Chain A
Amino acid sequence: MNEPPAPDPDALLKAAQRAARGRLKIFLGAAPGVGKTYEMLGEARARVAAGTDVVAGVVETHGRADTMAMLDGLERVPLRQLQWQGGTLAEMDIDAILARRPALVLVDELAHTNAPGSRHPKRWQDVEELLAAGIEVFTTLNIQHVESLNDVVASFTRVRVRETVPDRLLEAADIQVVDLPPDELIQRLKDGKVYVPAEASRALAHFFSPANLSALRELALRRAAQSVDAQMLDLVRGLGLPGQWPVAERILVAVSDHPGCESLVRTAKRQADAARAPWTALNVVTPASRAAQAQARLAATLALAAQLGGEVAHVPAPDILAGIKAHAAQVRATQIIVGKAQRSWWFKLRHGSLVDRLIRETPGIAVNVVPIEGPVPAASAALGRPVPLAGWVWTLLMVAAATLVALALRSGLGIANVSLLYMLPVMAAATLFGLNAGIMAGLASALAFNFFFLPPIYTFTIADPENWLAVAVLLGVAVVTSQLASRIRAQADLAATSARDNAVLAGFLSRLTRIAENDALAQTITTEFARQFDCQAVLAGPGPDGPAQLAASEADVALDTMAQAAAGWALVRGEVAGHGSATLTASDWLFRPLPGASGPLAVLGLRREDGRDPVPPDQLPLLAGLIDQAALALDRARLAGEARQLARVEERDRLRATLLQSVAHDLKTPLTIIQAAAAELERGSTPALIATVRAEAERLKRFVGNLLDMARVEAGALHPMPEPIDLTDAIAAAVHDTRHVLGDRPIQLDVRPDLPLVRLDPRLFHHMLINLLDNAGRYAAAATPLAIIATRRPDGLDLAIIDSGPGLPDGHDPFTAFRRLKGSDRSAGGTGLGLAIVKGFADAMGLRVTAANRGDDATGAVFTLHMADNLLVRTPAEALL
């Protein structure tokens, strides 16, 4: 965990983009008249003095003398005059500024709308262009023009401005707030120092009320702070720095199983809304065990938080305070909301006030204490846990043993040492069986000590007051030891639980990451959940009509109508539904959504046969963790699937394009010949052309057949229907159908009649053979011999087609579509699809097809179909006679 945190690439990218662009500085004011322009000019002059090349692009002085004076000595780029409906309007001349290329340009009134006919409708777009050109820009802006605050401002000022500036400009800018207390601003207004258009004066009178100005001022300050925070976060992430960086509001609400915590969550939501801040509902998982009912209340409270848009966090910690502190530091919370219930003075005395300690131990974080109503649930029972009967017996036995030892050694031991001896059973009992047993041991030891050793002996009277001390010490040791021991045990339990949960999560994750394929992933998810929680699990995703079952932990799981409805609800709303939730509780199943970037990816359904809650309350945090992991894995598989799909589509498109080119050529050639030959025949030309027409027609027929076959292969639309076939039949039919192509080539057939039948799709196999023979006929010269040889092998049957052609060049894969040997005669050629079809059909039927050159002296290619043993059919001897 201590390795240096890696810089966040997004943050670095943002920084890099800012570096190339010009910087933007916004002088942000709460209202007109606070002196933004003046302030901007002042800073500009300072920059001029520092040697920066500054020009004024546009500055609205509104005729005020002090502002005019500030403008003195600054270079000004003349405004551009635009003709508009008979009048003339002056706008900033962006082209002139870009041509002038200053280091810094002043552009007043960022929210200004440009005159019609300007390059950009809005001035902030001009500014973006200047920034993109690498020029630094100073500009001014009033808070009511910030887009995200437009509604808010309008709601209390009753003045809605239409000219707004997108927030992203502010996010990338340095913001300087030009602040003026409301009273002074109103005074300035009265003094006529604020420019107010005459027609708007009445509306503005209301606008400039002290209340409005205060609110606007607060907004401006807060917006500036928020912007600083965002940039600082980028900076922190970019550097990978850990550390306490205060950010804009971040609210943490600590919840427990207390029934009043729901109102606490609502309070947090309201405050978060008010501060436009993210918020988290925190459940500190302490060793204290809780009743199932309390767990259910806690789960309901957390569900409410999630529903209201809060994050939910489970943090294991030895006690509430430590958990809150740790999480507050981790998420950089600025506010913590805790509830305070009325407790007895005794409880406060024993535990101290949590609130007081929280305030003391989280400096810099505001702690809001909200009183909550309702009975306090039973306090943690970790210390005073019940002692089993055997514990009592053991305790007494140990005290008795200590007494016996002490009696035996009494002569050699002083009274003080005897009392020390009694420490042993007290500490042992406290450690092993808890506080109650420890106190019991202390009392028993004190009594035994008193009875056997303190004078007067064999009475329970204590004569010497000093000996009271010995009794008190024994009791004190019992209490302290048992406290310590139980705390250590509790922490060990917690660590063990936490380690176990982490191990489960890690194991789950590693099993999921190994699977890339969607169905297998869904299956693994259900199996894992079923195993982990010892229940039935089902995964359902969005289907064409309602939720569709993707996988189930057991084969016979089927969702009834009610379960379907609950799954649908969870899927559409992204909320928990079904058994034990707030919705459709009649269902046996509990459905939890697996969240994705845009709505639930799927829903996980869990059910127990015995009708109990599928997940015990104390395992809810683990369930949440596992669900998050499952969702991530599903999302990853979905993305991978989409990428694969895309790659397939691209590959198919590429093949189609190639095919089209190839087909166009190969189809046009025979058509041309047929057309020309027919025309010749019409004119009474030689009948020899009839043979040509016939041959070309054959060729066309073959092309079209191949195209259809290839389309089937590519579309994955091959559904082989295997049946036992006799190779003799298949070969004879193929030889018959290719007789025109093979012509006068002698064919040697070596297919023994006692070979087993082969289970193949007869039609696909026929086409394979035709294509192989056709290929041999095309590459081998006329009248060269051709052999078809079937050989029985121990592991199957090989069928070889051997030609006497030129053979295959090295490194050539003849089974790739659209590949044809260079130099092969075009006129005898085809689309080069034949062998690709052979391969496609072979794959579909489970055959293996290989190509090689002849091993003997002659040249030529050997195409072999390997039929594995499982394709062969044993010859049935019976029933034939």
Chain B
Amino acid sequence: MSARILVVDDEAAIRRLARVALERAGLAVREAENAREALLFANAERPDLVLLDLGLPDRDGLELVPLLKAKGLAVIIVSARDSTSEKVAALDLGADDYVTKPFDSEELLARIRAALRHRAGTKAIAPLVNIGRISLDLAGHIVCRDGMEVHLTRKEHDVLAVLARSPGRVVTHKALLAAVWPDVTDPPMEYLRIVVRNLRQKLETDPSRPSLIRNETGIGYRLSSD
């Protein structure tokens, strides 16, 4: 059975556009035009994922994020608001991803796939991840590039492991820092930057054009999922 997506947006044109793109990709679509409808359908129909606009007429979309997450739904924010602080806030509240309007429908579909995959994966984390030329054995702490084992420091391994837990999804700086340096209060951002830089040197084909560990400006990092 195909995944069911709830598109929440007060603009009919945006809903229609999303429906066309999603249905073309074989997803089932339900539309809601305000927060009340969104909660109603989320309860009644148990969709797999919600595309959520923040600027809803009756309620701020950010308030819906924890409610939807509590029901175990994947949530992708689709909004015209592009301040980094708002994106980070949405992600911190549990949103799986954030897409800024105007959006590219291919990109939107990629994010949806990543989020759905993650949602399926939360039930049982796959110990082995393969991305392009890289294979990760998270349990065995082994990382191979083109089949050759690459030596990573502990922090490099930790960062990679956190990203690999949800390939294709953005992980905020804050979440990464907290996960990798748990015993440092307010670990400085430069730690993360340097570790990511070193990881790239070891894993990327062209470290100055990173394709494995993608930067989300001002928000976090994302591990490529393909």
What is the interface of chain A, defined by CB distance below 8 A to chain B?
697, 701, 721, 723-726, 728-733, 735, 749, 751, 753, 757, 761-763, 766, 873, 875-876, 879-881
Contact = CB atoms under 8 A, between A and B. Distances in A.
Contact of B102 (A701, A733, A751, A762): A701
Contacts of B215: 726, 729-730, 732-733
A53 to B, nearest CB: 81
Interface in B109-159: 153-155
A749 B208 contact: yes
17 contacts: A721-B84, A724-B193, A726-B196, A728-B200, A728-B208, A729-B193, A730-B217, A732-B215, A733-B217, A735-B209, A751-B208, A753-B200, A762-B84, A879-B184, A880-B194, A881-B153, A881-B154
Contact of B190 (A697, A732, A873): A873
Contacts of B154: 881
A826 B190 CA distance: 43
A757 B193 CA distance: 8
B201 interface: yes
B191 A876 contact: yes
A879 to B, nearest CB: 6
Interface string B200-217: 110000011110000101
B189 interface: yes
Nearest to B156: A880
A880 B197 contact: no
Interface string B172-208: 0000000001001001111101111110110000011
Contacts of A728: 197, 200, 207-208, 210
Given A726-B196, A726-B197, A757-B193, A732 B217 contact: no
Contact of A724 (B181, B190, B198, B217): B190
A697 B102 CA distance: 10
A762 B218 contact: yes
A766 B215 CA distance: 11
Interface of B: 84-85, 102, 153-155, 181, 184, 187-191, 193-198, 200-201, 207-210, 215, 217-218
Nearest to B187: A879
Contacts of A732: 208-210, 215
A726 B154 CA distance: 21
B193 A725 contact: yes
A880 B153 contact: yes
Nearest to B184: A879
Contacts of B197: 726, 728, 753
Given A728-B197, A733-B215, A733-B217, A876 B209 contact: no
A763 B191 CA distance: 20
A749 B85 CA distance: 30
Sorted nearest first, the 9 A-B pairs with minimum C-beta distance are A729-B215, A762-B218, A724-B190, A749-B208, A766-B217, A763-B218, A726-B193, A762-B217, A724-B189
A749 B84 contact: no
B195 A880 contact: yes
Contacts of A725: 193
B198 to A, nearest CB: 8
A554 to B, nearest CB: 34
A729 B102 contact: no
B206 to A, nearest CB: 9
Nearest to B198: A880
Contacts of B218: 723, 761-763, 766
A291 B113 CA distance: 93
B153 to A, nearest CB: 5
